[in-house]
């Protein structure tokens, strides 16, 4: 056991967060995201039984967001013609604001297939059991 480390952060996830360098990206994926096929060149970490908000909150306690890019947090845009609602995005913005003074200004969106392309280049992908749709979030690591 370590002091100050959220209990939801597994030893494997803690190791990955430590290994990541400036500008590396990590995806926190919802339950529908194809983590294994997108993560063929990444470390895939299972966090079954957990949702994205709780993982995001725990990670941001340890993980600095990149200050050298305008939007170090990327969300997958809702596809045109899909009338899906994304209230979970508001949760993300509240969580981010607790750890980064830029708050919601750190958050951008990218088209679904562009998100997949970027995810294939990520250092790691965390597979969660999140049931909300369009709940995937990509974080770009900054410096301390």
Q: Cβ of 18: how many Cβ atoms within 10 Å?
A: 8
- Distance CA(30)–CA(54), nearest Å, equals 12
- Distance CA(136)–CA(77), nearest Å, equals 10
Q: Which residue numbers are catalytic?
A: 22, 66, 116
SS (H, E, C) 99-125: HCCCHHHHEEEECHHHHHHHHHCCCEE
- Is residue 23 left, alpha or beta, with left meaning phi > 0 and alpha meaning psi from -120 to 50? left
């Amino acid at each position: 056991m370590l002091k100050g480390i959220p209990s939801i952060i597994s030893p494997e996830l803690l190791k990955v967060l430590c290994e990541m360098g400036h500008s590396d990206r990590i995806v926190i994926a919802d339950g529908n995201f194809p983590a294994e096929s997108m993560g063929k060149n990444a470390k895939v970490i299972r966090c079954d039984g957990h949702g994205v908000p709780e993982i995001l909150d725990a990670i941001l306690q340890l993980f600095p967001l990149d200050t050298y890019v305008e939007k170090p947090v990327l969300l997958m845009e809702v596809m045109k013609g899909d009338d899906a609602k994304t209230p979970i995005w508001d949760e993300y913005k509240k969580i981010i604001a607790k750890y980064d003074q830029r708050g919601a200004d750190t958050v951008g969106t990218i088209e679904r297939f562009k998100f997949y392309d970027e995810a294939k280049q990520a250092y790691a992908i965390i597979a969660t059991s999140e049931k909300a749709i369009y709940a995937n979030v990509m974080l770009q690591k900054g410096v301390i």
